[in-house]
Copies of this chain bind each other. A is one copy, B any other.
């Protein structure tokens, strides 16, 4: 029923029914001007009686606004990204704006395409999560459209990007292992394929190095391995590590997915976690608490970041300077680390 009306009823119909002009209907509907109480209620009545639903295209065409915020993500399925989306949804909930999602699939071409789709749909604001769009492109767009980039640091747009202190995250994860008595700590990182996109991972790596150094220890290249952030690369990394013969008592992986892979590889080799080697991840994905044993990891405040991002575009929309704090990752201790 409620749906029935979709096709036909226009503002003219309800104007006729309420005995006012279309202009007045528009005014009461969007509250753009005072309207006599009697007419207002007449209009409201007609609206509900006729199940009127404004035509968004006409609205946007006439007003020049789409009342939508474009959200470009890289992978709907990733827990971390999902957390951010969730936050954005929350941040937009009480506003007039609706999110319009597009998925770049971590594919530069698809991403660019999706980016244009959003722009073509005349979104009033844009939130880009991670991704590999050229800084240049982002800068150009930012000049005309309120834009916030989440989970990626754009040097040229300090006031439009929102990210995590990955250095501190890496530092603290390592530091925790150090505090637990570990000395031979391996780090599984990921190569800097795209200098910008994977900057986060690089930062975590640097944090790891600094922590080792601060503890008065030596950096040992034989203790660091590269993966590609996928689970499978975690198992490969451990294989590689084992073949090097360099002893170690703990592993810190740049993300949880690789930690899961590493854990599996260890299991296959009959190496116990945490008795033989301790493990800490990064992200606190949904599965982390259900790994066997539950994974100790660095938690990213994904939802909070999403919500902050939403508020920030809204600020930009209202010409206010947004408040963009540097987010911190928190250690969540579970059972994959033991004292050494």
Give A contacts to B, CB under 8 Å.
1-4, 6-7, 53-58, 60-61, 66, 75-79, 81-83, 85-86, 89, 98, 100-103, 105, 116-117, 119-122, 137, 140-141, 144, 231, 260-261, 263-264, 267, 286-287, 289-294
In the assembled complex, 30 residue pairs joining A and B whose CB atoms fall closer than 8 Å, in A order, are: A1-B140, A2-B116, A3-B119, A3-B140, A3-B144, A53-B119, A53-B120, A56-B120, A56-B121, A57-B57, A57-B122, A58-B61, A76-B76, A76-B81, A76-B101, A77-B77, A77-B81, A77-B82, A77-B286, A85-B103, A86-B105, A101-B102, A231-B287, A231-B290, A260-B287, A263-B292, A264-B294, A267-B292, A267-B293, A291-B292
Assembled-state Cα–Cα distance A6/B4 (Å)? 36
> Smallest CB-CB separation from A290: which chain B residue?
B260
Residues of B within 8 A of A78 (CB): 77
Partner of A6, one of B144, B261, B293, B294: B144
Q: Give min CB distance, A95 to chain B, whole Å.
A: 13
Chain A contact surface mostly: helix
> Smallest CB-CB separation from A294: which chain B residue?
B264
Contact: A117 with B98, CB < 8 Å? yes
Residues of B within 8 A of A66 (CB): 57
Q: Give min CB distance, A68 to chain B, whole Å.
A: 9
Q: Give min CB distance, A143 to chain B, whole Å.
A: 9
> Smallest CB-CB separation from A117: which chain B residue?
B98
Contact: A122 with B291, CB < 8 Å? no
Assembled-state Cα–Cα distance A291/B268 (Å)? 12
